Amino acid sequence: MDLFEYQGKQFFASFDIPVSAGEAVTTVEDAVAAAERLDQWPVVVKAQVHTGGRGKAGGVKLANSVEEVREHATNILGLDIKGHIVKIVWIEVGSDIAEEYYASFTLDRSAKKHLGMLSAQGGVEIEAVAESDPDAIAKIWIDPVDGLDEATAREWVAAAKLNPQATEGAVDILLKLYRAYTEGDADLVEINPLILKPTGEVHALDAKVTLDANAAFRHEWAEYEATQSRDEREQAAHEKGLQYVGLDGSVGIIANGAGLAMSTLDVVNQVGGSPANFLDIGGGANADVMAGALEVINNDPSVKSIFINIFGGITRGEEVANGIVEALNRVTIDAPIVIRLDGTNADEGRAILEPHLSGQLQMQPTMLDAARTAVALAADR
């Protein structure tokens, strides 16, 4: 769940991370009114979109007067930034900047630890820094059991070669940022730039936050949920409670479990195909869930074949098979379907599916065979 910048700053502020005062608005007149309420000039008019490159696209402008706020808000609202139409702008008090840094936390899955990155080169894409000067990024790996303590944070700041004037403020913010990352159930928290002001204060000038949607039950995230950017396919899947990400290929994917779904995408790519989506139906493959998944995929005109890849664990093979058969009675499917069913009671499940097989509904014994068949069927249509 990706947050807009202003939401990220609200999220940071709830953990006492210093951020700039501002207001999110959706109209030009509200932008003007927000600037007048802030009553500190200059202000910055910032497009709120779930993508980078706002500044280069004209989505971030400094305003020294009400007239300039009106002009910039008029130009930015409705602006297309990498396919994202600006509907919200953030009016923020301007900040004096002495130096710009970069700080973030995310999960290093291969190390099974949290990864912290800190650099004295902020204000630019961290990927560019990593490519041009990888030594400019100080990295630490944090065991979730141990967490981040002040001594480690202080050593980290020294390793990143931040201005000594920023040490105390940076250490304080990094400790709070780690708490926001862990207690806030985030997949990513990023401040770029983290600024040192001429006064010596350290301050989060930007905020990039991705929350773990699976942790939503622990939080009140309705406001964040309401502003998620989804295409029609993703919105339909979300309404059915499905974990779905739309892609640009021609083979529709249904799998049970995120890991299996990712592997299915990889296999389809390996055999020369292109996945149309990621769709994880989770542990329940009953008729309602399967019908919802098939309906979402069937409504995508780019889908030329559908690959249902199920490995039964707690969910037994015969339950999956009955769910598929019942779902096909409810939903009229245009594209041919290829099924791979394995795991618990797979033989029973395949026996249930056998009488229903045809050119439109095929079954293959392995994931690789099924992927090849689905890709071939997509190529023929």
Closest CA to 174 of 92, 101, 96, 111: 101
Domain containing residue 196: CATH number = 3.30.470.20
Looking at the fold, whether 198 and 265 belong to one and the same domain comes out as no
User: What DSSP assignment string belongs to 42-64?
Assistant: SEEEEE--SSS-TTTTT-EEEES
Tell me the two tokens of residue 236.
């339909």
* Residue count (the chain): 381
Q: What is the pTM of this model?
A: 0.71
The burial class, CB within 10 Å (0-12 / 13-18 / 19+), for 301 is exposed
User: What DSSP assignment string belongs to 95-124?
Assistant: ---SEEEEEEEEEETTTTEEEEEEES--SS
Residue 227 lies in a domain: no
The last residue of one of the domains, among 168, 200, 222, is 222
Looking at the fold, whether 314 and 361 belong to one and the same domain comes out as yes
Residue 282 lies in a domain: yes
The rounded distance, in Å, linking the Cα atoms of 207 and 19 is 9
- Cα 123 to its chain centre, rounded Å, is 21
Looking at the fold, whether 175 and 279 belong to one and the same domain comes out as no
**Given the structure tokens 């929350």, which residue do they identify?**
211
Residue 41 lies in a domain: yes
Domain containing residue 245: CATH number = 3.40.50.261
The last residue of one of the domains, among 93, 126, 157, is 93
The rounded distance, in Å, linking the Cα atoms of 225 and 241 is 13
pLDDT value of position 328? 85
Residue 1 lies in a domain: no
pLDDT value of position 248? 87
pLDDT value of position 131? 82
The rounded distance, in Å, linking the Cα atoms of 282 and 204 is 38
Is the distance from CB of 160 to CB of 231 less than 8 angstroms? no
Per-residue DSSP letter, 19: B
> Which residues make beta-bridge pairs with 85?
80
Residue 9 lies in a domain: no
The rounded distance, in Å, linking the Cα atoms of 271 and 305 is 14
The last residue of one of the domains, among 93, 114, 129, is 93
Which residues form the domain of 299? 232-379
pLDDT value of position 157? 97
Looking at the fold, whether 159 and 268 belong to one and the same domain comes out as no
Residue 13 lies in a domain: no
**Given the structure tokens 């402008």, which residue do they identify?**
61
Domain containing residue 51: CATH number = 3.30.1490.20
Is the distance from CB of 22 to CB of 95 less than 8 angstroms? no
Residue 12 lies in a domain: no
Looking at the fold, whether 164 and 257 belong to one and the same domain comes out as no
Report angle CA 211, 201, 142 to the nearest 5 degrees: 40
Looking at the fold, whether 262 and 330 belong to one and the same domain comes out as yes
> Which residues make beta-bridge pairs with 296?
none
Looking at the fold, whether 51 and 119 belong to one and the same domain comes out as no
Looking at the fold, whether 76 and 201 belong to one and the same domain comes out as no
Tell me the two tokens of residue 86.
């600006």
* Residue 132 CA: distances (Å) to CA of 115, 121, 123, 125, 348: 20, 11, 15, 11, 57
Residue 5 lies in a domain: no
Q: How many structural domains is the chain composed of?
A: 3
Q: What φ, ψ does residue 174 adopt, rounded to 5°?
A: -65, -40
* Residue 345 CA: distances (Å) to CA of 289, 348, 350, 369: 20, 5, 9, 20
Looking at the fold, whether 366 and 282 belong to one and the same domain comes out as yes
Tens of each residue's pLDDT in the chain, 381 residues: 889 999 999 999 999 999 999 999 999 999 999 999 999 999 999 999 988 888 889 999 999 999 999 999 999 999 999 888 999 999 999 999 999 999 999 999 889 999 999 999 988 788 888 888 888 899 999 999 999 999 999 999 999 999 999 999 999 999 999 999 999 999 999 999 999 999 999 999 999 999 987 787 898 887 776 666 655 666 665 666 677 888 889 999 999 888 899 999 999 999 999 999 998 887 666 677 888 888 888 888 899 999 999 987 777 888 888 888 888 888 888 899 999 999 888 999 999 999 999 989 999 999 999 999 999 999 987
Q: What φ, ψ does residue 87 adopt, rounded to 5°?
A: -115, -15
Looking at the fold, whether 303 and 356 belong to one and the same domain comes out as yes
Residues annotated catalytic, as ranges: 102, 190
Looking at the fold, whether 29 and 77 belong to one and the same domain comes out as yes
Looking at the fold, whether 125 and 206 belong to one and the same domain comes out as yes
User: What DSSP assignment string belongs to 260-321?
Assistant: HHHHHHHHHHHTT--BSEEEE-TT---HHHHHHHHHHHHT-TT--EEEEEEEESSS-HHHHH
